[in-house]
């Protein structure tokens, strides 16, 4: 996967929309996010402000998961660092336990699993099974691959606490064997990424990184 380095520490995948140009793999949703250089569009910036982005993230690095766009967007100091296609829940957004929906609201990355494992490593109960997924092998299993970023809700009664707790629901950002479904609602509640993207994200998203999940 080709990447460019910006600033000093963050890698940017080829999906990035930069300098007003459309790169291969971008969509109209990506262009709505970035309309001038690498900065956020005015509309998106205003919406993020209304969620409390300044208080939660400020000029630090944060992740925005847009369910409507099925995108994970990395943002630092109002600059878009990357845009990844993802899959969120087939049943849509929702915070209730056992709903198999993707929870909304503010989260943080809590535990991280899979550091140093090979591409396509199969994880079960957050442990490496010793298996490596072969893309040529079809499977109906909801495999968790390569890396796991386990989310913890930060809003009591919304995504934290009894009956709505994202951490207790095992809501992850993780790699998937269903890469062909990325960009569509397909998961059981987690945020799925390609194996390339989740490995790349794992290297820049540390424990404590704020994650905002919105329906828009």
pLDDT at residue 32 is higher than 80: no
Q: pLDDT at position 194, please? A: 98
User: Are the C-beta atoms of 17 and 30 separated by less than 8 Å?
Assistant: yes
Beta bridge mates, 153: 107
| pLDDT at 20 exceeding the cut of 60 | no
- β-pair partners for 75: 62, 80
% of the chain beyond a pLDDT of 90: 76
* Tokens linked to 131: 């298996």
Taken in order of first residue, the domains within the chain and their CATH numbers are 3-211 (2.40.440.10)
pLDDT at 19 over 50: no
pLDDT tens digit sequence for 54-65: 999 999 999 999
Contacts of 46 (CB under 8 A, 6+ apart): none
On average, the pLDDT of the chain sits at 87
The pLDDT value recorded for residue 70 is 96
According to the model, what pLDDT value does residue 7 have? 32
Range 189-213 average pLDDT: 98
C-alpha 104/C-alpha 206 separation (Å) is 20
pLDDT (tens digit per residue) in 124-172? 999 999 999 999 887 778 999 999 999 999 999 999 999 999 999 999 9
What DSSP string describes the chain? Answer: --EEEETTTEEEETT---TTPPPTT--HHHHHHEEETTEEPHHHHHHHHHHTHHHHTTTSEEEEEETTTTEEEEEETTEEEEEEE-B-BTT-B--STTS--BPPEEEEEEEEE-TTPPTTEEEETTEEEEEE--TTS---S--EEEEEEEEEE-SBTTTBSTTT-TTTTT-EEEE-S-GGGTTSS-BSSSEEE-HHHHHHHHTT--TT-EEEEE--
Summarised one tens digit per residue, pLDDT across range 43-54 is 999 999 999 999
Q: Is the distance from CB of 155 to CB of 143 less than 8 angstroms?
A: no
List C-alpha distances in Å: 199 to 11, 13, 88, 98, 119.
11, 12, 18, 28, 8
Query: What's the confidence (pLDDT) of residue 92?
Result: 98
């Amino acid at each position: 996967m080709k990447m460019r380095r910006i600033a000093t520490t963050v890698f940017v995948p080829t999906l990035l929309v930069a300098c007003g140009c459309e790169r291969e793999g971008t969509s109209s949703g990506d262009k709505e996010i970035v309309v001038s250089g690498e900065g956020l569009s005015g509309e998106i910036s205003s919406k993020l402000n209304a969620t409390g982005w300044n208080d939660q993230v400020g000029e630090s690095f944060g992740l925005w998961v847009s369910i409507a766009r099925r995108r994970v967007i990395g943002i630092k100091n109002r600059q878009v660092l990357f845009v990844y296609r993802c899959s969120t829940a087939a049943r849509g957004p929702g915070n209730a336990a056992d709903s198999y929906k993707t929870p909304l609201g503010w989260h943080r990355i809590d535990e991280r699993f899979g550091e140093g494992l090979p591409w396509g490593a199969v994880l079960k109960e957050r442990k490496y099974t010793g298996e490596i997924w072969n893309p040529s092998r079809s499977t109906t299993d909801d495999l968790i691959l390569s890396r796991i970023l386990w989310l913890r809700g930060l809003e009591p009664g919304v995504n934290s606490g009894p009956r709505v707790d994202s951490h207790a629901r095992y809501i992850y950002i993780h790699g998937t064997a269903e890469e062909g479904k990325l960009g569509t609602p397909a998961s059981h509640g987690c945020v799925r990424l390609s194996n390339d993207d989740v490995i790349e994200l794992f290297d820049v998203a540390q424990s404590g990184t704020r994650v905002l999940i919105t329906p828009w």
